[in-house]
Structure 1
């Protein structure tokens, strides 16, 4: 039914407008107590076999929504209602900003992919912090993903990230430093270890100062376009600084191997490509990081996740947690239910007692 709705309605709409319309209905359903309970019972049945312990947190499962869908923390309850085991909000910047000019979101339907150059459009860390502080239902694990304000010079990036951290630390179950979006000029330069070290060290100190009563897990999100040697350096740095984990990967600036008409791809212009074409590289980066860090970091795999087989493959390759986004656009509200059902079946057939036992199993001799 959703695919019929997508073909008849959503694919004929501007992608960003379709996103806002769909998100409005999700939030509306979640605002009605009885309806929210009913929808959750249908779309988000919780199989106890999938319970996951990660980053010091107990989650109903390993599959969460990646940053980018809910930039301003306005629909956390609705997204949990649809079955996401945790929700990562953002990317949030210190100051509010409108993002890049529209159109800035494009579908590549033949590739089950998206191109976006949103540019961190969000209401700013003060507004998002106030909204998170006002939440009544805190059962859903919420990650907070922060990035650099566009107008802030690269030399002042650390102070910009600190401002967001100070405002948001108390409200985050885990924290993500995003240095890997291709849509903010100069941002990816911060992935260089000599710049990344002082940035992550400053955010870690600020988290500890702003939330002294508990340890807020800190992760860094990296791009798939990094050279292998640079990935190794970031993994080594994460261990050196005692980070809690790495999220791999963000969108790619590459356009290789697409089935969509090249003229249509060219017309979409610059931006980050996400979805199915990213699958192979995201898995490759995950495997590389896991081979270097073992179980000393919590690895979160994102990029090209569509099916339960994809989730299971990432877990076997070393991911404790997995995230998706682009396939949600194509699969609709029953997506999480299908993933959970399939993943539970694969776990039971594998002989592993828990998902934790399966993490990295394909890398062990």
Structure 2
């Protein structure tokens, strides 16, 4: 199906230019009409040289006067025609000139708007402290710039309050969680036999505490990915992928293809979390005796990390929702180990990808499972082999 073409962009500057030129041409045409009316009204009918003359004027003198008046009338008529023709040519020339002058004037008027547009596009969630600071007199454009600055100030305050709340709440909740975990451990470590019901309940509480701790850790990672980024460095995604696969006792078949991949410029801790979350997500949301495929390759100016897995078929309409916090894509996406995760894994992946200026693509595989592609700008100019993972290997 052919994609619908984007609507053609209309320039306000050209609209102002056409407006200025149209007004000038309309006023010039009105001026020519007035000149034509006056010129036509000033022409009087005079007798020709053959017109009979009556009265006491001699015949020869009368004929001479009539001839001179006729010549004068013809001269006035030619003068009027030349005047109208010259005015028309002048109107055409001034019409063309008005287009240039109108474009220049519109550019001068719209210059503050272009500056505000450029500055607004440059401001993101990471530099909300910047302001437009529109110079000039206090006119409508200055009021618009000041209004945008006030909006940015409110957004900065809201974003800062949200990040502080997430970070502070996560830190503050760790203390009571640690206390409860120690109490459970002490209870289980007491000498003497414990009732089986108490032991099962304590184990269940300990499991829930671990999941809450993972949730808080995910919230901290999500807040860190959107604020207070450390200094970037050259990071090899293939090494992070190999380490993630080696550190995890995966109950599924694994495939790693990372031949001569270029490094990316980023933050090692966040990228390690990104790769680890993708591998964990591929393992948890899998099937019995499933597989996980990881590919790292250089594609032009980007380094692509592709993580695929087998599993049940996913509704393509739910794929876009998976990067939202606490979205797991439905009850059918249960893990092979019984853990459903905190619902922050792919949300953290999306935040880290945005923080590195990359792109994230999720696609439901027709055979079942999910294919996740993360493309990040590469740090060097090296080239990599373009390889892929088609499926599990025997």
Q: Same fold (TM over 0.5)?
A: no
Larger Rg: 2
- After TM superposition, the score normalised by the length of structure 2 is 0.19
Bigger helix share: 2
- After TM superposition, the score normalised by the length of structure 1 is 0.20
Higher relative CO (Cα under 8 Å, sequence separation at least 6) belongs to 1
Bigger strand share: 1
